[in-house]
Chains A and B, each alone.
Chain A
């Protein structure tokens, strides 16, 4: 696949796995449509047992302002004890994971490659650190081929596993948009940072707002973050709850 040459690690294949239903509880058919059969993981599985979890996503070719926005959003999420989820790609994803670690928070990487590969290879150290100290998840079995399709598939899985998605910046053709649309389809919260909404070159933000995306800005950030429900935590409720 040309420019996406994953760097393969000489490690035994990780065999730890769980199903989406173990994370969320019983899936509805809207969720079933794109849900992976299984998730391979390395690290602290308990990060998928609690929430809220929020995805911070955006362009690989992020602007310096975009990276700064991702960092400051991530710090605010950590301050609200929200788990920061991203895709370990270059750009916004890397800024989010790194800022979460620096702020002493918890972070989950959802990969578009199997766990035994590193893409981009510059993130190998970061991925290994997240595998040791945090949590790294992939729906792709170790040793399987990486194709460009993996990445939008991964983005849909990230939408499934998180209570809300925030798009920090993304162009008209960004793969990040797959996650935005999937979040709306699943009925998860979708937030767009004010800067993308105000960018006259972009048409997708207004389209997503029409279908329910909300704008996140400095002025409503606290309100938004204190109101994120933990819908993707497994609640294990029974009839006794009513009484």
Chain B
């Protein structure tokens, strides 16, 4: 398992905050979860502006293949919604990548964290065994793993580990569009670009910030 890794992220949402901004951030979450094409496009444009202004150096670029992180269960067919894949397509359309490379897939479902009993939450290792690399062709030199939401960072950490195991020489970075802000009562704004860190500590992932 990777001990620690950097990740980029552009936005935050508050799961329970009562302020108007927190409530609006949940509407953004809900629209993204549905795969609202207009909102995905807005988010990609917003990220492109941040990159133009010098944000997320080294993350995006015309030579970076965008790898969508799988959802928590296998897809039954290609016409099944996959929000990170749609985000990757929108980022590509905004000029932030060279291609969308859906090389990671989920082969077994992991329980939704919030619904699992304490102690039975899917640990990083459960995510690792449920993910598989499906395209083992020589990989692009630079890749960016892209997920829609990040809470503790378990999924992104597991996805990065699985990718690194199969393609050890690849320059792979990680990006999660929205960070869940569950530990603060409210948020002050939705736009909150950061490069943070996910650490693997005592068998679990921990995100900062």
**Docked complex Cα distance between A181 and B34 (Å):** 16
A227 to chain B, nearest CB (A): 6
- Which chain A positions have C-beta within 8 A of B35? 28, 30-31, 187
From A210, A230, A239, give the contact of B108 (CB < 8 A): A210
Interface size of B by Cβ–Cβ distance < 8 Å? 40
Smallest CB–CB gap between A209 and chain B, Å? 7
Decide if B76 touches A229 in the complex (CB within 8 Å).
Answer: no
Are A28 and B109 in contact, with the CB atoms below 8 A? no
Chain B residues with Cβ below 8 Å from A186 are 81
Contact A187:B114 (CB < 8 A) given known A209-B109, A210-B108, A237-B27:
no
Which of B29, B76, B83, B189 meets A184, CB within 8 Å?
B76
Contact yes or no, B76 A224, CB < 8 A: no
Partner of A181, one of B71, B76, B191: B76
B33 — which chain A residues lie within 8 A by C-beta? 187, 229, 231
Interface SS of A by simple majority: loop
Q: Is the CB of B81 within 8 A of A185?
A: yes
B16 nearest CB across to chain A (Å): 10
Note all chain A residues with C-beta closer than 8 A to B28. Answer: 235, 237, 241
Residue among A24, A25, A229, A241 making CB contact with B190, cutoff 8 Å: A241
Say which residue of A31, A220, A232, A235 sits within 8 Å of B39 (CB atoms).
Answer: A235
Is B152 an interface position by the 8 A CB rule?
no
Q: Which residue of A lies closest to B21 (CB)?
A: A241
Known: A26-B36, A223-B114, A242-B11. A212 touches B31 (CB 8 A): no
Indicate if the CB atoms of A187 and B80 lie closer than 8 Å.
Answer: yes
Interface residues of A in 181-212 (CB under 8 A from B): 181, 184-187, 209-212
Count residues on chain A whose CB falls below 8 Å from chain B CBs: 34
User: Measured between alpha carbons, how far is A89 from B73 in the docked complex, in Å?
Assistant: 31
A238 at interface by CB-CB < 8 Å: yes
Task: Judge whether A94 is part of the interface by a CB distance below 8 angstroms.
Answer: no
Which of chain B's residues have a CB closer than 8 A to the CB of A31? 35
Assembly CA distance A181 to B28 (angstroms): 26
With both beta carbons as reference points, the residue of chain A lying nearest to B77 in the complex is identified as A185
Residue-wise, chain A 212-243 has the 8 Å CB interface mask toward B (1 for contact) of: 10100000100110010111110101110111
B45 near A239: Cβ-Cβ < 8 Å: yes
Which chain A residues border B77 with CB–CB below 8 Å?
Answer: 185
C-alpha gap A243/B27 in the complex (Å)? 14
Nearest A residue (CB) for B29: A229
| Complex A-B, nearest 4 residue pairs according to Cβ-Cβ distance, in ascending order | A212-B73, A187-B81, A231-B34, A242-B191
The interface of chain A, by Cβ under 8 A from chain B, is 24-28, 30-31, 33, 181, 184-187, 209-212, 214, 220, 223-224, 227, 229-233, 235, 237-239, 241-243
17 A-B pairs besides A224-B115, A232-B34, A237-B38 with CB distance below 8 A are A25-B39, A28-B37, A30-B80, A30-B81, A184-B80, A185-B76, A187-B35, A210-B73, A233-B27, A235-B27, A235-B28, A237-B27, A237-B36, A237-B42, A243-B189, A243-B190, A243-B191
